[in-house]
Amino acid sequence: MKNKKFVYFVLIPIFLHMLIFIVGPIIAGFGISMMDYNPLRDTNDFVGLANFKQLINDPVLMKALMNTLMFVGVTVVLNIAFSLMIAQLISIFKSNKIRGFFRMAFFLPCVAPLVASSVVWARSIYPTATGLANMMLKTIGVNPVNWLGDPNVLMWSIIVFTIWVDIGYNIILFSAGIDGIPTNFYEAAEMDGASAWHKFRFITLPLLGRTMTFVIIMTLISHFQMFAQFSVMVLKSGPQNSGLVLTSYVYKTAFELKNMGYASAIAVLLFAIIFVITLIQQKIQKVDWDY
């Protein structure tokens, strides 16, 4: 009985936190999405599914959705490819101190606030006239690039920054997964004359299944929700809305246009995308992974 009381004592605050800060806002968001809601008005009318019907015919939303899918698709693929490659290279070192040093070096950008990192890149690396990126291009005879003003380049600039600032977290996860693989598999492969590539292809990759699944799903969910770099580095959604993503469109609609009903409908769409990804994650995690 005492054990049950302790369990209740520990779990009740957690459930209250979920109800107040997670479940409550989700329900409120669904409710507001069915209203013509403006916080500056005394009365707000119930409009049913009108806001969701407006989503279908909104060209700006379609642009934001396409930008979001491009951003997430490219960053997730490159992030996982680079982080796995770097983690594998780090694992080659036998010294724990050397491996720890490289992990710390790559993880440092993750420690810095995302807003602060965005400001540094926007004001010191990406400026057209005085930015470090264009100064490096100038030394090899390449004309300056308008990194944050050219609609064909802007999203790629954000992608490069996001990979730099976020890759360290996945390097740590992959490094932990690689370190957890029993060494006897590699020893047996070496006795059979396997090359480094064959050991990576037929031992490391298959046995990183659980880590890979977790990294892919969490990176997808995280990148769908990214907002800070678009808010700081992109001026007014960028030329031709080239830097507009779903999160920034929600913010713009809610706090600039004061149309919180429609903004909530966009947020529900984003929630649905993330929810589907979460369901896929749960289904994949039911697979039995064994060494």
Question: What one-letter code names the amino acid at 76?
Answer: V
CA–CA separation, 247 vs 166, rounded Å?
Answer: 18
Please return the burial class of 33, using the count of CB atoms within 10 Å of its CB with bins 0-12, 13-18 and 19+. buried
Q: Are 1 and 8 in contact (CB under 8 A)?
A: no
Q: Which pLDDT belongs to residue 39?
A: 79
Q: Which pLDDT belongs to residue 183?
A: 87
Q: What is the DSSP string of 84-103?
A: HHHHHHHHH---HHHHHHHH
pLDDT per residue over 190-232, tens digit each? 888 888 889 998 989 988 988 888 898 889 999 999 999 999 9
- Angle among Cα 219, 25, 7 to the nearest 5 degrees reads 80
Q: Which pLDDT belongs to residue 106?
A: 94
Instruction: Write down the pTM of the prediction.
Output: 0.90
pLDDT per residue over 174-193, tens digit each? 999 999 888 898 888 888 88
Residue 287 has pLDDT above 70, yes or no: no
Q: Which pLDDT belongs to residue 192?
A: 84
Which residue do the tokens 């264009």 mark? 134
Half-sphere exposure of 208 (CA within 13 A, CB side): 24
Q: Which pLDDT belongs to residue 41?
A: 80
Half-sphere exposure of 289 (CA within 13 A, CB side): 14
Mean pLDDT of the chain: 90
* Confidence grade of residue 277 (pLDDT, cut at 50, 70, 90): confident
pLDDT per residue over 14-39, tens digit each? 889 889 988 888 899 899 999 998 87
Q: Sign of torsion, CA 82 87 92 93?
A: positive
Q: Domain 49-285 is classified in which CATH homologous superfamily?
A: MetI-like (1.10.3720.10)
Token pair of 42, please? 């005394």
* Confidence grade of residue 288 (pLDDT, cut at 50, 70, 90): low
Mean pLDDT of all residues in 274-278 = 85
pLDDT per residue over 47-86, tens digit each? 989 999 999 999 999 999 999 999 999 999 999 999 999 9
